[in-house]
Amino acid sequence: MIERLLINNIGGIKQASLKFTDGLNVITGESGAGKSSVVRALELLTGGRGGVKFIRAGETRGTVEAQFTDALISREINQTGRSRAKIRGVAAGLNECAKLVSSLIKIQSQFEQLELLDGDKQLAMLDSCLPEEIRDGIFEEFREIYDKAKTSTNELRAVKKRRAEIERQYSNAREIFELMKVAQPEPGLEIKLENSLADISHRIARRERAKESFDTLTGGLSEKGLIESAESCFEELYEFMNGEDADEVRKSFESLYAVIKSLSGSFDDEESDADTRDKIETRLGALRRLKRLCNIPDENELLNYCGEIYSNLEWLEKSYGDLEILSAQSLDEKKRANALAMEIRKARHNAATRLEDRVNEILNELAMTGIKFKINFVGLQKLKRDGADGVEFMLSDGSREGRVGKTASGGELSRLLLALQLSLPEEWLPPTIVFDEVEAGLGGRAAVLSGMQLKKLSRKCQVILVTHEASIAALGDSHILIQRTEGETFMKNIEGDERVKELARMLSGSPDMTEALEHAKKLMRGEELG
C-alpha cells in the first residue's frame, strides 16, 4: 500500500505531504481546491505523460514521491517535457517505474472505467474466477501447446513460402541442370573449348586433304589410282632399260608403293576426332545456352549461381519430408489446443454463472434492483492465446439488454465496477485503488450504499477516494482535507471537530450551520447510514 505522498509544484499544489492508512482514505475539499491534482500526481507515477501543463504556474519543474510498503518511487518533470524516475533512490527508466507502480496501485475515475469496456480486460476478470486447477493447470498446458502450434504453423508457412519462391525463381532449373551436366562449367571454359575446337577442326581438315591425296594415289576402294597407272607405265619402260637399271627402278617403285600403302593406317583416327569435335561443340553449345538462360556471361559467377540453384533445389527435395512432418505436427497440436480450449470454455461458463450471481447480489445492495448483469460469450473464428472465447459484459433492465459501454450511465458503470471488484478474487485487486469521484452521478441512498461497499472493498485493499459525498466521506478511516487560499493549495489530515465541520460544509455549503453540524455528527456515528 501507499504510506506517504510528497508533491511539489504539481497542478495547483506548491508543496504537500500526505499520509495514508490502511482501509478507506477519503480526500475532500471544495471544487477547484486541488483534489484532482493528487490523482494527477499519482498518474505521473504510473507512467502518465508529464507535460508542462502539470507543472505549477511559474515553476520550472515538478516532483512526486511515493513511499510504498516496500518501495520508494519518485518522478520529476520539467518544462522541456523530459522526465526522470527513481526507484529506491536509484535512477530508473520511466517504463520500469510505471510497470512497478502499476502493480501497486490502480487509478479509476468516472471517465476511466476501461475495464468494463475492454473485451480483453473483461475476459481477464472472468478468468481470475476460474478454479486453480484450470488457471494453473489446463490454462498453462493450453498456452504451452498453443505456442507450439503457432510455432509449427509459422514454420510450416515459412517452408511453404520458401518452396513456392524457389519453384517460381528456378522454374527453368531442370533445363539449367541438364545443361550443367553437359557443359560442366569451369573458369575460362568457353575460351578453352573454342581453342580445342579450332585445333581439332584444323587437324580434321588436314586429314581430309591428306586422305584425298592418298585416294588419288591409291585409287580408293574401286577406282584406279595414280600409282597403279604409274606401275603400268613403268612396265613399258622396263623393256627399254637394261636388266640392272630395270631391277633398280622396280625395287625403288615397289618400296615407294609400300610406303604409300602403309599410310592407310594414319586415317584410322578420323572417326575419333570427329566424335571429339562433336563433343566439344555440344559442350560449348550447352555452355553458351546456359549463360544466355542464366544471363550470366562470366563462368565464375555462373558457377556460384548454379551452386546456389543446386543448394536450393537440394533443400526443396529435402523439404518434402519436413513438410509432411510439420503438417502432421501442426495438425496434432491444433487438435490438442482445441480440446483444451473446450475444457476452458466449459470452466468459463461455470465461472461466469457464479460471477453473475455475486455481482447481481451486490448490485441489489447498491440500489440497482431490476438491473441484471450478464456475461455473453462470443466464439472466436480462430484460437487465441487466451482460448476460443471472447466475452461481453451486458446489463439488462427487463425490457432491453446491451453492452455495458452502450447501456449503462456513468453512475451505473461506477457501481458495476465496484460490484465486480468486490466479487473478484482478492489476488485480482492491487494493494491500492484510487477512485476519483467515482460516486459522480449518484445521490441519496445509492451514494450511501456505494460508500458502504467501498468500505467493504477497503477491507481487501487500501482505498483512496476523492469524493464530494458527505455520507461516503464519513466512512473514511482517515480524512484528508484540501483547501485553496490566496492561490495556494494546502492539505492536511483532519479528525474530530475539524472533520465534523468539513462534513457539514459538504452537506450544506457552510461549516458552521447548526443543522448541518448535527447531521455530520450523526454521519460520523453511523446513525444516518444503512
Quick one: how far is CA 264 from the chain centroid?
A: 83
DSSP lists the bridge partners of residue 27 as: 466, 480
Residue 529 pLDDT > 60, yes or no? Answer: no
Q: Which of 121-125, 215-219, 439-443 has the lowest mean pLDDT?
A: 439-443
Count Cβ atoms within 10 A of the Cβ of residue 243 and give its class: 0-12 exposed, 13-18 middle, 19 or more buried.
exposed
pLDDT of residue 115 exceeding 70: no
The x, y and z cell numbers of residue 380, run together, are 472466436
| Separation in Å, CA 477 to CA 89, 116, 434, 502 | 30, 28, 15, 15
Provide the 3-class DSSP secondary structure of residue 191: helix
Which of 130 and 31 is assigned the larger pLDDT?
130
The C-alpha cell 517504463 sits at 95
The per-residue pLDDT for 391 is 93
The more confidently predicted of residues 27 and 213 is 27
- Where is pLDDT greater, at 414 or 481? 481
For residue 270 the three cell numbers come to 578420323
Range name among 91-100, 189-198, 443-452 with the lowest pLDDT average: 443-452
Quick one: how far is CA 319 from the chain centroid?
Answer: 26
Q: What gap in Å lies between CA 487 and CA 529, rounded to an integer?
A: 36
Q: Which of 138, 158, 154 has the alpha carbon at shortest distance from 388?
A: 138
pLDDT winner (highest mean) among 7-21, 106-120, 299-313, 334-348:
334-348
Domains of the chain: 2-128+366-494 (3.40.50.300), 134-351 (no CATH)
User: Do residues 424 and 460 touch, judged by C-beta distance below 8 A?
Assistant: no
Most confident of 84-93, 299-308, 311-320: 84-93
- pLDDT value, residue 319: 87
Among 206, 186, 175, which residue's Cα sits nearest to residue 284? Answer: 186
Q: Rounded to the nearest 10 degrees, how much is the dihedral formed by the CA atoms of 244, 246, 249, 251?
A: -80
Cα distance between residue 410 and residue 88, in whole Å: 38
In this predicted structure, what is the pLDDT of residue 430? 87
What pLDDT band is residue 269 in, cutting at 50, 70 and 90? low
Give the separation between CA 286 and CA 284, rounded to whole angstroms.
Answer: 5
Q: Is 44 helix (H, G, I), strand (E, B) or coil?
A: helix
**Distance set, CA 237 to CA 90, 240, 241, 256 (Å):** 131, 6, 7, 17
Span 57-64, average pLDDT: 86
pTM of the predicted protein model: 0.64
User: From CA 71, how far away is CA 88, in angstroms rounded?
Assistant: 6
Which long-range contacts link 349-352 to residues 24+ away (Cβ below 8 Å)?
349/377, 351/126, 351/127, 351/129, 351/130, 351/131, 352/126, 352/377, 352/391
> pLDDT tens across 283-294, in order?
999 999 988 888
Q: Tell me the three state secondary structure of residue 460.
A: coil
